[in-house]
Structure 1
Amino acid sequence: MKRLTTTAFVLSTALLASTGFAAFSAHAQAGLPQTEGEVRKIDAAAGKITLKHAEIKNLDMPAMSMAYAVKDPALLQKVKPGDKVNFTADKINGAFTVVSIEPRK
C-alpha cells in the first residue's frame, strides 16, 4: 500500500509540473486569484504594465484599465501589447503590483 501511495504521489507531482504548475510564483500558489486581462501598454524603463482587466477580487478592485508596477521586470518580457493574459496582483509596499502574468492560450 505504501508503494502505491508513493507511486501516486510521484505521478501526480510529475503531472502538475508538466502542466506548468511549478512555474507559478509563490504568491500565486499562496492563493492569489487569477484575473483575466489585456495588455494595453508596457513601460519597461519604469517597470510598469497597463492592463484592461476584470475585477480583481483580492484587491476589491472593479474592472478597469490601470497601470501596475511589476514584482519582477522579467515579467514584462513574457507579454506584449494586445495580448490576452491571466495575471495575479497584490498590494506590495503600498503599490498595486502584478506578481505573475502569462499569455492566455
Structure 2
Amino acid sequence: MNILKNFALGALLATTTLASTSLLAQPAMDMSGMKEKGMSMDMKGMEMSNGEVKKIDTEAQKITLKHGEIKNMDMPGMTMVFRTQDPSLLDNIKVGDKVKFNAEKREGFIVVTAIEAIK
C-alpha cells in the first residue's frame, strides 16, 4: 500500500512540476509596432486607456476622467470618478490634460494605478 501511495504522490508531483514550468516558459508579449498604432503599455504590460482630465480632488485622492474604452475591464467610454492608487499620481497632471492611464478593480473600487499626460 505504501508503494502505491508513493507512486501516486510522485505522479502528482511530476504533473504539478510540468504544469508550473510550462507556465514559466510562456513567450514574452511582442510589443513591436505598438507606438505606430497609438498604443502604449505600462510596466505591467497592460494596454493604457486614453482620457481627458475633467476634475482633480487631491484631498480625496480622486480624479474625474472622460475616457475611451478600458479594455482590461471591458468598460465602454464614459466620464467617471476614479480613486487613485497613490496620491502622487495626481502631482504631474492638471484639468484639461489628455492622458493615458490604467485602471483596475480593487476592493470594490475602480482605481487608477498609472497615469501620464500625453505631450
> What TM-score do you get using the length of structure 2 for normalisation?
0.63
Name the count of aligned residue pairs. Answer: 79
1:84 to 98, 102, 109: 98
Indicate the SS of the match to 1:36. strand
Give 1:49's aligned amino acid: I
Residue 76 of structure 1 deviates from its aligned partner by: 0.8
Partner of 1:71: 85
Residue 74 of structure 1 deviates from its aligned partner by: 0.4
Identity of aligned residues (%): 51
Higher RCO structure (Cα 8 Å, ≥6 apart): 1
Give 2:106's aligned amino acid: I
Extract unaligned runs of 5+ from structure 1. 1-27
Cα distance in structure 2, aligned partners of 1:58 and 1:98? 13
Indicate the SS of the match to 2:90. helix
Give 1:61's aligned amino acid: M
| CA RMSD between the two structures | 1.3
CA displacement 1:52-100 (0-9 Å, x = unmatched): 0000011111000000000000011110000000111111111100000
- Specify which structure has the higher proportion of helix: 1
Cα distance in structure 2, aligned partners of 1:90 and 1:32? 10
> Which 4+ residue blocks in structure 1 deviate beyond 3 angstroms?
none
Indicate the SS of the match to 1:29. coil
Q: Is the 8 A contact 1:37 1:86 kept in 2?
A: yes
> What TM-score do you get using the length of structure 1 for normalisation?
0.71
Structure 1 window deviating more from structure 2 (48-57 vs 87-96): it is 87-96
Give 1:50's aligned amino acid: T
Residue 31 of structure 1 deviates from its aligned partner by: 2.7
Cα distance in structure 1, aligned partners of 2:44 and 2:106? 15
- Specify which structure has the higher proportion of strand: 1
Higher CA-based Rg = 2
Residue 30 of structure 1 deviates from its aligned partner by: 2.1
Give 2:92's aligned amino acid: K
